[in-house]
Amino acid sequence: MSAGTVLEAEGIVVEYGRRPALRAVDGVGFRVAAGEVVALVGESGCGKSSLARAVVGIEKRRAGDVRLNGADVPPLGLRRRSPAMTGMQMVFQDPNSSLNPRRRIGEQLGDGVRAALARGDEGSDPADWLRRVGLDPAMLTRFPHEFSGGQKQRIAIARALAARPRMLVADEPISALDASTQTSVAALMRSLSVEAGAGMLFISHDLSVVRRIADRVLVMYRGRVVESGDTETVWQNPLHPYTRALLAAIPLPDGLGRLPLAPAEADRATWLDDVPAALERTAA
Amino acid sequence: MTDARTTRPDPRDGAPAGPRDGVGAGMLDPVSAARPRWRRPRLRLGRWSAPLGLLGAAVGILWILVALLAPVIAPHDPLAQDLPILQAPGEGTLMGTDALGRDVFSRVIWGARVTIPLALLLVVMSVLIGAIVGAVAGFFGRAVDEVAMRVTDLVMAFPTVILAMVIAAALGASLLNAVLAALIVSWPAYARLTRGLVLGLRSSNYVVSGQLLGFSPLRSLGRDIAPNIVGPVLVLASLDIGTAILLLSGLSFLGLGAKPPTAEWGSMVSDAIQNFDAWWIGVFPGLAILTVVIAFNFVGDALRDALDPKSQTIRGGGTTL
Amino acid sequence: RTDTADSGTQTLTINKAFDLKTADPGRMYEPTGQLVDKALYETLLTFEGGDVSKVVDGLASLEQSDDAKTFTLTLTGEHTFSDGTAMTADDVVFSLQRVIGLKGNPSFLLDGVTVTKQDDKTVVLTTETPTPALPAILANPALGILNSKVVKENGGTTDETDTAEKFLNTTSAGSGPYVLDTLDLASQVVLTANENYDGDAPGYGRVVIQNVEGATQKINVEGGSADVALDLSGTQAEALGDSVEVTSDPSANVIFLLLNQNPSVSAITSNPDFVKAVKEAIDYDDLVSIAGTGTAQASGVVPSMLLGALPESGALTQDLDAAKADLAKSGYAGESVTLNFPSDISLNGIDFPTIAQRIQSQLKDAGITVELAPAPVATELDAYRNGTETMGLWYWGPDYPDPSDYLVFTPGNVVGLRSGWAEGANPAISTLADAAAAGGSDEERQSRFEELQTALNADGPFIPLLQPGNNIAAAKDVTGVVYNAVWTIDIAALAAK
Amino acid sequence: MTDALTISGLRIRTRTHAIVDGIDLALERGGIHGLAGESGSGKTMTALAVLGLLPGSMTASGSIRLADDAGAGTGSTGAGSTASGIELVGASRQVLGAVRGRRVAMVFQDPSTSLHPQLTVGRQLTDHLRHHLGLSKAAARSKAEALLERVRVPDARAALSRYPHQFSGGQRQRIAIAVALACDPTVLLADEPTTALDVTVQAGVLQLLRELVDDGGLSILLVTHDLGVMSAVADEVTVMRQGLVVESAPREKLFTAPQDAYTRSLLAALPGSSFEESPEVLVEELVEGHEAGSAGGAAGSVGGLAVEGGSAVDGADDVEGGAR
Amino acid sequence: MSTSTKAVRSPRSRGGRAAHPFLRYALRRVLTSLLLVVGVTLVTFVLTNLVPGDPVAAALGQRAAEDPAIVAQFRATYGLDQPLVVQYFTYLGNLLQGDLGVSTTTHNPVVDDLAKALPATLEIALGAIVLSVIIGVVLGTIAAYRRGKASDHVLRVVSLAGLSVPTFWLALVLYYVFYFQLHIAPGSGRLSSDFTTPPTVTGLYTVDALLAGQLDTFLDAASHLFLPVLVLTLYTVGLLTRFVRTAVLEILDQDYVRAARAKGLPTRTVIFSYVLRGASIPILTVVGLAFGSLLSGTVLVEAIFAWPGIGSYAYQAASHLDLPGIMGVGLLIGVMYLLVNLIVDLLYGVLDPRVRLAS
Ligand SMILES: Nc1ncnc2c1ncn2[C@@H]1O[C@H](COP(=O)(O)OP(=O)(O)OP(=O)(O)O)[C@@H](O)[C@H]1O
Ligand SMILES: Nc1ncnc2c1ncn2[C@@H]1O[C@H](COP(=O)(O)OP(=O)(O)OP(=O)(O)O)[C@@H](O)[C@H]1O
Ligand SMILES: [Mg+2]
Ligand SMILES: [Mg+2]
Ligand code: NI
């Protein structure tokens, strides 16, 4: 384990059902360093969420190892999670369902603070967290329904961060949000987690946002990581045909009326090819 | 700024997939709210359901008052057989007299003291038992769930009235035994509902978030899950009071509930079979049942609208009584 | 309704509250079964009309020995079964032996009776003990004569291996005026006229007996969808309009109250003063009026139409002052006494729960607290039979119209035991009972039974209450309605005007 | 007159408040008109109003005028047409029935919910063909097959007898477009037709839309809040906010020189635009925006962020509106 | 920048991701159903044996039970002298051969009794369910379409009232009014006594009468059906109307309905081909449930109308502690309930291609 690595995943396999099993994640490994933002991109259904859930332990892994600060991450069962494992937190896509509608947000933020305390970390004031995500501390006594989707998502982020995680996994945290807030919430997540020295796995299919906030990207296709490396490297020099198609298909908001390139059906076949050179590239 | 686009639930979050496991495993599932879509219970009474609910509440309260004040309101002792027998309404009594010369009006009034509290007791007990079994089954899953659900399957596959009939026959006819018999057939509905809700909530993001923050199972159940299933369970319960009254009076009608000479509505209706000409013997207690049940149903319906405009639960194993 | 002029092809609809279990005479012993089998089968001896105190010749004539131990029956004339075959003594022997051998419900009728064939026309019945009741017993439709050949072909035997019930529930094998068309124990029985009947053709070609509750019967007979209704209560009968004819007679059923004499079952009901107090507390006239038309107070346990019945003057009467005094003597301290009764029995339109509630109310006025404990007959019978009821409300219908059937109400006998009245509990009454059992002339028997009942009324644990009225309502155009205590009505005697 | 559809002074109200508060919009013939705006600003309701499909609780006033078919040359002008076109606001059921699907068609955001899961693709493609054009079953089927080929659904013939769930998301949206185009409408209302699709699939659908317009005869009102999509295909762009049009301009002008503060804030959030700012700046904005908002009156001062942060006080009302 | 709502995929694709082919699933359902049936028999058996009464006492006449020989004979005939466990397994063994024992009240094989009673019950239950589905769907759809309007509220009140009426009371009142007072409806039973039972084909008198071409018998049988069916229908109609309304509302909210309207299809087509088809699965589910509760409800209705069906039989068996009878009825209704569920399940496959075509 190299220094500064908070999360290390190896050969993760996730399957659903049996006879025939659907292999959603097919042997994926990656690591995330402290203070690093790693983005996971790919088309719908390629297994991003499955991977994220497997990493956190919500989904059972059929194979593979996940280590948080060197300790094995067990699947989330009926048992109470050990304090060490609360060092990994998750933010979900749907802000409406990530907060308990019957509890005041102050209490729910308090859960995060308590988790940090239970681990022997330093505590914090829930009100402070509200302020940090740009909300009025006076709102602590409100219930989730009194907030808009974007606000709820920020509260969910605050709760996760209040637990002082070493690792934050965010599954499309911004895609349910309004166009105009997406970028700022993403930026907020980055700055807060970097500030806390936590690693972050950020899932999104919004490549323009990814480009802005991720240090590294993993491009996933059909359950495999087909390309990975520093964000700019991948952007400037995509090697895998799928990555190329993906980047070419992004419509640019430049006002020039250029149609994005749609991949031909024939191309899709080539996307399954392995291009080993496309993996783990650092800045050129 | 609003988030008008309420994200629809991912089919994966809910109850386990598979070709409508719902119908087999939980009758409630295919149509019920396996996951609560309601937010906090702000009273969002519809324009019409509110007045109806209020009307229901008024009638319900009226009946409860009648029950409480029965000794004051009733002109006669409900058990005294001192009036001429089979007297038609009007001739000195409001609702006539029965075959033993008892005042039907007084008996209807006193009847409120019998059926309503017992129905409430029945529903409370069903909710308690059902909710506990359902919550445990839904939360801990596996064998516990399997066993609990098979048991509910069994009870629900059984014809309600016949089961109640056999139970009441086995235990001897008495109102309390009727309640017990009814209890045995009515808790599974709550177990089903609760289980479905818990199952849905269990994998919901906020419960998982709580677990990630190191919640113990009890804390998850108590803090995250329980408060969120109270609403729908209450709605079902309020709608069920009516059903409970119908079931209990139906059992009494069959002679499996109230013992004579108790003034119980169902058994009063059955008295009418013997004296068909004296329509008043059966009509008034029947109307009493009808109004009470309607009242509770109106309240329950309004409550459902208020708490959750979309959800709907079928009362499994419902009884036509 | 398709009424045709010729009454022989007309359908007669009878409403009856069913207690039907079978149409097989060898197994049948319920009022509905009696009604049906009376129409399907003929008996050796019989009664005329409603008079059950006098036995007359049926298929056979009777010669009886003086000691009432040998009975010689000779088939009179030619009798043919519904399939055209002639009846012989073999059929008689088979039928009677079958009843005995089946050990079915009616087999007790012939307990201790030996049946032997003398010749083709003559059968001799012998008993160990004097059985003066045997002629009356032989009039019971359960002892109807079957076509032995047909029954044997369909599994009939004279022992427990018999399997002919199924056949007899689909087809009858008798010589009666009707044959069985269809039988549905729960809903209806259809009879059609027996083409080979050797007597006068019955008044109706087709008879439908439907299972209908009392209240509905009234509507049906009023509305014309039934011609005869058999189970109307007194109140219902009173409320009937002019369009129907009502025949009201007290039935042979006696409803009585029993108080357990076994101190280990109940200390208070076994107290003679308490029993007396209860007897004096009940308002018999009030009970009669609640029950309605046709009902009479039962003077003793033997119903009024039987030999040996107690005259009205001997009946119990209410005396509240005496009741109070006796109650005080008994040491009753207001504790509640349980009254058990079958909740689902309705006798001649009278509901047991109704009577029980009335008694509860009457006793309450006298200061006795009664708690009602109804249960379905099926459940309650057990407690009744075991003699564990504190107070019980039951009835006794005659197994055969003879007072000896009522000796069961004495210490150590069936019903006596049910009230915790053991052998020897009351030697005086036992002596009276033995005397009554001995037989003798009608007059002798009459006075002995009167004596016995007077003693029972004074000191026994039973309180005879009512002989509920049997109210039969029939459409105006139906003639021949006569109540018979054994088979209710003889369907074949009915005819259209 | 070159506009296929002219909306003027359109108001949409519920009993209690206005959803759309008097907007003007002209859909030029043979072009794609982009309609952008914040969530809940009334874009969808505007599109529905054109077809007279507003929810029962809403009423529309103002004018929506559908130009005569002269240019398109197909079909006859229905009842209610005048020299200047057909008025759709308050139109009779017959008029709307003749317009819906026949002259104006609509594509919805989510292809997996806008196709009936229990009906075959063929049935859904042909039932309005047969209704509107009176085609025989066979004729309708062959036309449907041609349509599917036109939107490039592979194996068109077999596809007709398959069910929606047997197709991928992109294919479903193509089918939905084919359904909309079946009766050769002159106007296509597309409500966020690519939002539910992957970018690679979206690119294909965008190309298809462009082609359809370029082939002539069709004008598209494209509702989207993805400015990338807007930039790629729209000829004209209208931006809405809170039921009002805040800006309407040709595409290039809008992207290079936005006039309205809200539009600017939208563009500012985009990477690569000249309004680009660093994440840190954005976060500060967010926080400041909140403070400005809670301080009282900074409605729209720093654009969407301010509104988002500042809605603390009236947030509840907003949610109420949203949680219908 | 796209706001993802991929989660939407197919919101009601319950079978969409079926891991097993549909047939396997159906087979599994049948097997679990069979287990349930065994469970039903066990429960009945245990319960009936808990009853304190003695079936012998109940079955034999007052007098006969005094005779120990008769009692012993009776016990031997019905196997009541065996230990309970043996009795139960004997029962199960016989069950496999289609033998449910002999009723102690009717002395007939329970199978025969049930075979006779079942068509009677089915006739009213089917009549009621068909009627209430038709009425319920029509009213529910109307209510949904007029959501919030006066007719919706009227229907709400009416259907709630329908759910609130005590069936046993309603049956009596209707009987009183239509038969006793107005003489419109015929009396109790399945046929007036002047009619003979039509030749048995299905056991449903109406159908059999038609098959035999006896029009007057048919009319008479139908008129006897009227009141019992009406009573049972009223309850179920309330249930179905409420439910159909919600199901239809849910569907009306779907994009595909909006899309259908946007296509300019006539309202009739939209309702029948799109809305009702979409709502068919949840509706089917309640219909199944309603049928189950109807079967239960027949007990009281049959008692009042002297209808010789399963309900009357059950009541008779229960009050006479007729063990084989009670178990037979329990078994039959249990099996029917499961059968109905199974049919509903299989119909899902017919109605929903996502289930049918899942592999
Ligand atoms: N619980 C489940 N049961 C069965 N299959 C599942 C389950 N969850 C996911 N899948 C399947 O696994 C594959 C990967 O799904 P996953 O949710 O990980 O994709 P994703 O990349 O997150 O997609 P999206 O961008 O739509 O969220 C998909 O084909 C999906 O249908
Ligand atoms: N059925 C309805 N009844 C009442 N109000 C509604 C209804 N549907 C939508 N609204 C409200 O109308 C307003 C405009 O909604 P509309 O769907 O047109 O917005 P939009 O611009 O399309 O938003 P989005 O980008 O989220 O699709 C919103 O405030 C919304 O809450
Ligand atoms: Mg995902
Ligand atoms: Mg919209
Ligand atoms: Ni018997």
Looking at the fold, whether D64 and D21 belong to one and the same domain comes out as yes
Taking contacts as CB-CB distances below 8 angstroms, the residues of chain B near E326 are: 162, 166
Looking at the fold, whether D134 and D215 belong to one and the same domain comes out as no
What CATH number has the domain bearing residue D204?
A: 3.40.50.300
**DSSP output for E230-246:** HHHHHHHHHHHHHHHHH
| Most informative mutation of A49, A56, A210 for ligand 1 (most atoms within 8 A of CB) | A49
Ligand 2 atom closest to Cα of residue D42: 18
Res D276 pLDDT > 50: no
Q: Is residue B84 part of a domain?
A: no
Please, which pLDDT band fits residue D162 given cuts at 50, 70 and 90? very high
Residue B129 CA to residue B140 CA, distance in Å, equals 16
Q: Is A219 left (phi over 0), alpha (psi -120 to 50) or beta?
A: beta
The reported pLDDT for the residue numbered B59 is: 93
Looking at the fold, whether D145 and D88 belong to one and the same domain comes out as no
Looking at the fold, whether D171 and D258 belong to one and the same domain comes out as no
**DSSP output for C316-357:** ----HHHHHHHHHHHT--S-EEEEEEETT-EETTEEHHHHHH
Taking contacts as CB-CB distances below 8 angstroms, the residues of chain D near A194 are: none
Q: Is residue D315 part of a domain?
A: no
Q: Is residue D323 part of a domain?
A: no
> What's the domain range around D164?
111-184
Burial class (CB in 10 A: 0-12, 13-18, 19+), E157: middle
Note if the bond before A251 is cis, omega within 30 degrees.
Answer: no
| Residue predicted with more confidence, E23 or D27 | D27
* H helix or E strand, kind and range, residue B36: none
Residue D189 CA to residue D107 CA, distance in Å, equals 6
Touching, A vs C (3+ Cβ pairs under 8 A)? no
Mind listing the pLDDT tens digit of every residue in chain E (359 residues)? 333 333 333 333 333 444 446 677 677 777 877 787 788 778 777 776 766 666 666 566 555 556 676 677 777 777 777 788 888 888 888 888 878 877 877 777 889 889 988 999 999 999 999 999 999 999 999 998 888 788 888 998 888 888 899 988 998 898 888 887 887 877 777 877 667 778 888 888 888 888 888 888 888 888 889 899 999 898 789 888 988 988 898 888 888 998 999 998 888 889 998 999 989 888 888 888 888 778 777 877 887 887 888 888 888 787 777 778 888 888 888 788 778 877 887 788 788 887 776 54
Q: Is residue D283 part of a domain?
A: yes
Q: Is residue D318 part of a domain?
A: no
Cβ contact, residue pair E61, C29, below 8 Å:
yes
Res B22 pLDDT > 70: no
Tell how far the Cα of A244 is from the centroid of ligand 3, in angstroms. Answer: 22
End-to-end CA distance of chain C: 17
Residue E137 CA to residue A279 CA, distance in Å, equals 59
Residue C415 CA to residue C399 CA, distance in Å, equals 14
Q: Is residue B251 part of a domain?
A: yes
Q: Is residue B186 part of a domain?
A: yes
3 state SS of A230: strand
Tokens 């066990």, located at residue: E42
Looking at the fold, whether D225 and D96 belong to one and the same domain comes out as yes
CA-nearest residue, atom 19 of ligand 2: D40
The ligand whose atoms approach the alpha carbon of E57 most closely is 5
Tokens 């899961």, located at residue: D117
Residue B26 CA to residue B23 CA, distance in Å, equals 6
How many residue pairs bridge chain A and chain D with CB atoms within 8 Å of each other?
174
Task: Sheet with C188-193: list strands edge to edge.
Answer: C178-183, C188-193, C206-211, C11-16, C228-232, C469-475, C244-250
Question: Minimal Cα–Cα distance from B1 to chain D, Å?
Answer: 6
> What's the domain range around B107?
42-78+92-308
| Most informative mutation of B8, B12, B13 for ligand 1 (most atoms within 8 A of CB) | B12
pLDDT, averaged in runs of 10, over chain C (497 residues):
50 89 88 94 92 89 88 91 92 94 85 91 91 90 94 90 90 93 86 90 91 80 88 82 86 93 92 94 92 89 90 93 93 92 82 91 92 83 87 90 90 91 92 86 88 94 93 91 91 89
Please, which pLDDT band fits residue A97 given cuts at 50, 70 and 90? confident
The reported pLDDT for the residue numbered B49 is: 58
Cβ contact, residue pair D97, E266, below 8 Å:
yes
Last residue of a domain, one of D184, D199, D228: D184
Cβ contact, residue pair E316, C29, below 8 Å:
no
- Whether the Cβ atoms of residue B287 and residue B272 lie closer than 8 Å to each other: no
Q: Which residues numbered 12-71 in A keep a CB inside 8 Å of some CB on B?
A: 56, 58
The reported pLDDT for the residue numbered B123 is: 94
Q: Is residue D6 part of a domain?
A: yes
Establish whether residue A205 lines the binding site of ligand 1, counting it when its CB lies within 6 angstroms of any ligand atom.
yes
The reported pLDDT for the residue numbered B117 is: 92
Range scoring the smallest mean pLDDT among D53-67, D239-253, E191-205: E191-205
Chain A contact residues (CB < 8 Å to E): 16-19, 44, 93-94, 172, 175-179, 182-183, 205-206, 208-209
Burial class (CB in 10 A: 0-12, 13-18, 19+), A222: middle
Give the number of other Cβ atoms within 10 Å of residue D80's Cβ: 17
* Overall domain count for chain D: 2
Q: Is residue B10 part of a domain?
A: no
Percentage of chain A modeled with pLDDT above 90: 44
Cβ contact, residue pair D322, B39, below 8 Å:
no
The reported pLDDT for the residue numbered E57 is: 61
Establish whether residue D44 lines the binding site of ligand 2, counting it when its CB lies within 6 angstroms of any ligand atom.
yes
D66 beta partners: D5, D86
E238-260 b/e with 16+ CB inside 10 Å = b? bbbbbbbbbbbbbbbebbbbbbb
The CA-based diameter of chain C, rounded to the nearest angstrom, is: 71
The reported pLDDT for the residue numbered B12 is: 30
| Helical residues (DSSP H) of C24-133, grouped into ranges | 31-40, 89-102
Q: Tell me: the pLDDT tens digits for B92-107?
A: 788 888 888 889 999 9
Q: What are the residue ranges spanned by the domains of chain E?
A: 23-97, 114-356
Cβ contact, residue pair B81, C354, below 8 Å:
no
Res D124 pLDDT > 70: yes
3 state SS of D261: helix
Q: Is residue D74 part of a domain?
A: no
Last residue of a domain, one of D184, D214, D242: D184
Establish whether residue D241 lines the binding site of ligand 2, counting it when its CB lies within 6 angstroms of any ligand atom.
no
Looking at the fold, whether D92 and D11 belong to one and the same domain comes out as yes
Please, which pLDDT band fits residue D284 given cuts at 50, 70 and 90? low
| Domains, chain A, with CATH or none | 5-38+46-214 (3.40.50.300), 231-251+261-283 (no CATH)
∠E125-E127-E130 over CA atoms, to 5°?
A: 105
End-to-end CA distance of chain D: 40
Looking at chain E, the number of H-run helices and the number of E-run strands are: 15, 0
- Whether the Cβ atoms of residue D105 and residue D186 lie closer than 8 Å to each other: no
Tokens representing residue C224 in the block: 């014309």
* Total length of chain C: 497
Q: Is residue B4 part of a domain?
A: no
CATH class of E114-356: mainly alpha
Give the number of other Cβ atoms within 10 Å of residue E97's Cβ: 7
CA-nearest residue, atom 28 of ligand 2: D40
The reported pLDDT for the residue numbered B3 is: 34
What CATH number has the domain bearing residue B228?
A: 1.10.3720.10
Tell how far the Cα of D40 is from the centroid of ligand 2, in angstroms. Answer: 5
Range scoring the smallest mean pLDDT among A118-122, B284-288, C386-390: A118-122
The reported pLDDT for the residue numbered B18 is: 30
Give the number of other Cβ atoms within 10 Å of residue A122's Cβ: 9
End-to-end CA distance of chain B: 51
Instruction: Give Cα separations from C215 to B257, C252, E168, E306 (angstroms).
Output: 22, 22, 15, 12
